[in-house]
Amino acid sequence: MTRVITYGTFDLFHEGHYRLLQRAKELGDYLIVGVTTEAYDKARGKLNVVDSLVTRIENVRKTGFADEIVIEETQGQKINDIRKFHIDIFVIGSDWTGAFDYVKDYCDVVYLERTKNISSTMLREKNSPIQRVGIIGTGRIAERFIPEAKLVSGISTQGVYNPHTKSAERFADKWEINFYKDLEAFYQASDVVYIASPHETHYQYIKTSLEHQKHVLCEKPMVLQKKQAEELFECARERKLILLEGIKTAYCPGFHKLLGIACSGIIGNIRNVEACFTKLEAQVSRELTDKKYGGSFTELGSYVMLPIFKIFGKEYNSLQFDSIRDEKGLDLFTRTTLSYPSGVATATCGLGVKSEGRLLIAGTKGYIVAEAPWWKTTYFEVHYENAEKIEKYSEIFLGDGLRYEISDFLSMINGSNSSEFKLTRGESVAMAEIMEKYLRKEGRG
């Protein structure tokens, strides 16, 4: 009996997939088809897969060609499968020619000619036309956005707006995109807007963008007042638009895994969360010179509040801020303490004081610790009373990580709501409320 194996994502199942499976089956007596998991696709940079794993498996099954379907979860799995299933022939489309020659040590490798003029990518683009992104703001984060957006299919950065025309022109030159002096022209050329301007300008830009019927991804902190956040989300809802706060940690696969484990019960009931993020900034930086909206809490507070809201929720009993300020009155270091019915939490951030920058989640049976930079989580440990028992978890985090939030934003625009739980509207509103309370307490509100 000749045993054949092939692999693929099989997203938006099409004729090319069908013909590939048909010919693969004809090469032998028994065909095994490996279908990639969502996590594996994300890890290898294939973002924006539309169909769920269950749907993709079902579509492969329905062809009747597969005698067995397996799940492909990791890099390096193919060799193990080939040995485990005693495979004689490894089959893949000609777009991969040469890429799997290393498998020849274990079985025959056949590259089948790819069916012309059809691919999942083409169908994705046809079903959901490319979204043209316009960027407002030209700071450091906007610089990071462009290369990350290039990795997400279905989206293309077309232009930039900044009232300081010189900056916009320089930025546009560097990234070979358009720049606009006029906001109306900018909106006309954009389907979605990414806002990376100074914090205090977010509200007005979001409002105007929504009024121009544009989906919005806005850098954190989205707005600095609860009422503003509520009003903007309501406006987005009425207009059937997506409005998303860009706290990249919320969309990062490793952070997700960590929250899943924290909430699984293995560390018991969670009683304490401590999140710390510090980043020393130059005295002359915007963050330490803007007397009204600068300082560590407005800059980093969203990151450190996030795990606390994710674990304990938005309904805290009490809230207290303690800051160390510079001579201008800006906070160089802020510790926020929240108490909840079932536990306590501290969120610490600093631009002028360096600390270890750790995330610690303590429960009645054990604790989870992720060291800096936990906000780009790649590794964390679970510890117990028995100090010798340590469970270690790792997860991939590629590049600057903005690709994950951009990809989730795009899926939401295209009608999927499977990522909405990662950062809910209610959580963004609660963050805005905390920002508001902080600025008011500092006499800057």
Positions of E strands within 163-206: 178-180, 192-195
Number of residues forming the site for ligand CTP (CB under 6 A) = 16
| From 3, 4, 5, 8, residue interacting with ligand CTP (rule: CB under 6 A) | 8
| From 4, 5, 16, 28, residue interacting with ligand CTP (rule: CB under 6 A) | 16
| From 25, 107, 109, 120, residue interacting with ligand CTP (rule: CB under 6 A) | 120
By beta-carbon proximity to ligand CTP, the closer residue of 114 and 444 is: 114
Find the part of the chain contacting ligand CTP (CB under 6 A) among 13-21, 234-242, 281-289, 318-326: 13-21
By beta-carbon proximity to ligand CTP, the closer residue of 21 and 308 is: 21
| Residue 221, Ramachandran bin (φ over 0: left; ψ between -120 and 50: alpha; else beta) | beta
Beta-carbon contacts of 348 under 8 Å, excluding residues fewer than 6 positions away, are: 274, 275, 276, 277, 278, 304, 333, 334, 335, 336, 355
Beta-carbon contacts of 76 under 8 Å, excluding residues fewer than 6 positions away, are: none
By beta-carbon proximity to ligand CTP, the closer residue of 120 and 158 is: 120
- Considering the rule CB under 6 A, would residue 78 count as an interface residue with ligand CTP? no
Q: What share of the chain is helix, strand, coil (3-state, %, to 5)?
A: 40, 25, 35
| From 37, 55, 63, 121, residue interacting with ligand CTP (rule: CB under 6 A) | 121
Q: Cβ(239)–Cβ(290) under 8 Å?
A: no
Find the part of the chain contacting ligand CTP (CB under 6 A) among 16-24, 137-145, 231-239, 300-308: 16-24
By beta-carbon proximity to ligand CTP, the closer residue of 28 and 93 is: 93
Q: By Cβ distance, which residue is nearest to ligand CTP?
A: 93
- Considering the rule CB under 6 A, would residue 95 count as an interface residue with ligand CTP? yes
Beta-carbon contacts of 204 under 8 Å, excluding residues fewer than 6 positions away, are: none
- Considering the rule CB under 6 A, would residue 42 count as an interface residue with ligand CTP? no
DSSP for 259-296, written as a single string? HHHHTTTTT-SEEEEEEEEE----TTSHHHH-TTT-SH
**Residue 164 three-state SS:** coil
- Considering the rule CB under 6 A, would residue 93 count as an interface residue with ligand CTP? yes
Find the part of the chain contacting ligand CTP (CB under 6 A) among 4-12, 129-137, 244-252, 396-404: 4-12
Q: What are the tokens at 336?
A: 């926020």
By beta-carbon proximity to ligand CTP, the closer residue of 16 and 357 is: 16
Q: Shortest approach of ligand CTP to residue 399 CB, angstroms?
A: 20
Q: Shortest approach of ligand CTP to residue 10 CB, angstroms?
A: 5
**Residue 402 three-state SS:** helix
Cα dihedral 6/7/9/12 (nearest 10):
0
- Considering the rule CB under 6 A, would residue 4 count as an interface residue with ligand CTP? no
Q: Shortest approach of ligand CTP to residue 408 CB, angstroms?
A: 18
78 phi, psi to nearest 5 deg: -55, -50
- By the criterion CB under 6 A, which residues form the site for ligand CTP? 8-11, 16-17, 20, 92-93, 95, 114-115, 118-121
